[in-house]
């Protein structure tokens, strides 16, 4: 039975929308969003066969191949063609049913098709629920790098149906938990304490009763920050905790490491760097590391990657501001800040400690 467990209002410069968190929401997508016009359901080749039929009938169902390698302009172009073929016009709405890849690619198509049609995000991974579906960023990758082309596109609504997490592979669930930990470290010590008290990364995490409040709290962290800084001019950068390291690890491993796994390593690196610079205690580094290990996440830089390669990747990351290496550092759980004057020697110390050869 459809049950709404939480509702969070998100405001942005052009208006506001609700994030609904609950179970068995898919059959009620239209009623819950109040959308009566033409609908295009965009999903991927894993999620479509599992969940498209549970959704109300759409004017067209567009299934893109699953995987980050398909988060491209070519896929967007295919979506445009299918929208045109189905006769979707400016009054239409795109429902993005899937993980962050579907959300980003379908969101970008919705932002640009006919100069913008409606968008409803229906995230089906934990990562997309707590991070990608909220905040209005959409985009695609280029061979030169991730998320290099994109647009801000605020959804009309976000519907996070926790029932869909039943089929999510454990490794993907763990990746989502890495971003939940990130949100906890940024702003909510209770998230960290709850995860530390939990059963680890096995299936009990999927008990909706436990997951629902945590998902709502984690989304709340993102909501509060994007409301404060909708176009990522300043404060929103704290959401990149661990991400300077994570992006470098993803890039140097040619994306063989999943984003959430790279974020886990990056969170330990950010804590270690903060301790190296005397901003936080070594105990905090140990605490972050043990929690991530418990959740089934990696905490060491993969074999065969050198500090030089990682530093080079960090210098080309688009999150760099005006040529300076920018890191988000921790004072304690719930207290993070942006630093632009981190000496390279300190970064090298951290990378050395986190390299498997030395760890
Ligand atoms: N726009 C933003 O603000 C933002 C924020 C964070 C991440 N992102 C983007 O999100 C993407 C990562 O998202 P992701 O981790 O959800 O990856 P994903 O979309 O690739 O999903 C991971 C895998 O799980 C499968 N899957 C999805 N839901 C499932 C379900 N319920 N049951 C079974 N299988 C399911 C997918 O088909 C895919 O194979 C990246 O491209 C990243 O750049 C965007
Ligand atoms: Zn992330």
Answer for the pair 214, 224: CB distance below 8 angstroms, yes or no.
Answer: no
pLDDT band at 81 (very low <50, low <70, confident <90, very high): very high
Which atom in ligand 1 lies closest to the alpha carbon of residue 128?
A: 16
Scanning the structure block, which residue is given the tokens 């992006």? 247
- The catalytic residue positions are 115, 137, 179, 222, 232, 236, 240, 243, 247, 259
Ligand 1 pocket residue status of 47, Cβ below 6 Å? yes
pLDDT the model gives residue 179: 97
From atom 30 of ligand 1, which residue's Cα is the shortest distance away?
168
- Ligand 1, residues 52, 98, 247: which to mutate, most atoms within 8 A of Cβ? 98
pLDDT the model gives residue 265: 98
pLDDT band at 67 (very low <50, low <70, confident <90, very high): very high
pLDDT the model gives residue 168: 95
pLDDT the model gives residue 321: 53
pLDDT band at 211 (very low <50, low <70, confident <90, very high): confident
Kindly report, residue by residue over 272-283, the tens digit of the pLDDT: 999 999 999 999
pLDDT of 235 over the 70 cut: yes
pLDDT of 199 over the 90 cut: no
pLDDT the model gives residue 204: 46
Q: How large a percentage of the chain has pLDDT more than 70?
A: 94
From atom 33 of ligand 1, which residue's Cα is the shortest distance away?
168
Ligand 1 pocket residue status of 184, Cβ below 6 Å? no
pLDDT of 18 over the 60 cut: yes
pTM: 0.94
Kindly report, residue by residue over 265-313, the tens digit of the pLDDT: 999 999 999 999 999 999 999 999 999 999 999 999 999 999 999 999 9
Ligand 1 pocket residue status of 68, Cβ below 6 Å? yes
Ligand 1 pocket residue status of 201, Cβ below 6 Å? no
Q: How large a percentage of the chain has pLDDT more than 90?
A: 84
pLDDT the model gives residue 359: 44
Rounded Cα distance, 196 and 243, in Å: 22
CA distances from 359 to 162, 243, 293, 332, 354 (A): 37, 21, 14, 24, 6
Kindly report, residue by residue over 336-354, the tens digit of the pLDDT: 999 988 999 999 999 999 9
Which atom in ligand 1 lies closest to the alpha carbon of residue 67?
A: 20
Cα-to-chain-centroid distance, residue 168: 15
Which atom in ligand 1 lies closest to the alpha carbon of residue 45?
A: 37
Kindly report, residue by residue over 146-194, the tens digit of the pLDDT: 899 999 999 999 999 999 999 999 999 999 999 999 999 999 999 999 9
pLDDT band at 318 (very low <50, low <70, confident <90, very high): low
Ligand 1 pocket residue status of 101, Cβ below 6 Å? yes
DSSP string, 309-331: HHHHHHHH-TT-BTTB--EEEEE
pLDDT band at 358 (very low <50, low <70, confident <90, very high): very low
């Amino acid at each position: 039975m459809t049950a709404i467990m939480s509702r969070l209002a998100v405001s942005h410069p052009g208006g506001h929308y609700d994030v609904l968190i609950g179970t068995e929401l898919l059959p009620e997508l239209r009623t819950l969003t109040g959308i009566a016009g033409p609908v295009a359901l965009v999903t991927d080749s894993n999620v479509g066969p599992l969940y498209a039929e549970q959704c109300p009938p759409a004017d067209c169902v567009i299934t893109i191949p699953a995987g980050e390698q398909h988060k491209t302009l070519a896929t967007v172009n295919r979506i445009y063609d299918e929208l045109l073929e189905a006769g979707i016009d400016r009054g239409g709405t795109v429902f993005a049913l899937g993980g962050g890849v579907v959300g980003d690619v379908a969101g970008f198509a919705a932002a640009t098709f006919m100069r913008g049609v409606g968008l409803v995000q229906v995230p089906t991974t934990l990562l997309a629920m707590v991070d990608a579906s909220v905040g209005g960023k959409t985009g695609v990758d280029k061979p030169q790098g991730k998320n290099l082309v994109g647009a801000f596109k605020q959804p009309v609504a976000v519907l996070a149906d926790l029932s869909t997490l039943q089929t999510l592979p454990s490794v993907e669930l763990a990746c989502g938990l890495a971003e939940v930990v990130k949100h906890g470290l940024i702003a909510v010590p209770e998230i960290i304490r709850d995860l530390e008290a939990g059963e680890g990364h096995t299936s009990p995490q999927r008990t909706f009763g436990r997951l629902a409040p945590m998902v709502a709290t984690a989304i709340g962290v993102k909501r509060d920050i994007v409301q404060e800084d909708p176009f990522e001019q300043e404060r929103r950068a704290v959401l990149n905790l661990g991400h300077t390291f994570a992006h470098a690890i993803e890039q140097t491993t040619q994306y063989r490491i999943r984003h959430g796994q790279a974020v886990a390593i990056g969170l330990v690196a950010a804590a270690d760097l903060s301790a190296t610079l005397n901003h936080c205690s070594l105990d905090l580094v140990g605490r972050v590391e043990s929690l991530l290990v418990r959740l089934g996440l990696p905490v060491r830089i993969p074999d065969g990657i050198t500090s030089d390669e990682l530093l080079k990747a960090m210098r080309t990351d688009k999150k760099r501001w005006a040529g300076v290496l920018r890191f988000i550092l921790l004072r304690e759980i719930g207290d993070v800040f942006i630093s632009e004057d981190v000496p390279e020697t300190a970064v090298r110390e951290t990378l050395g400690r986190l390299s498997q050869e030395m760890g």
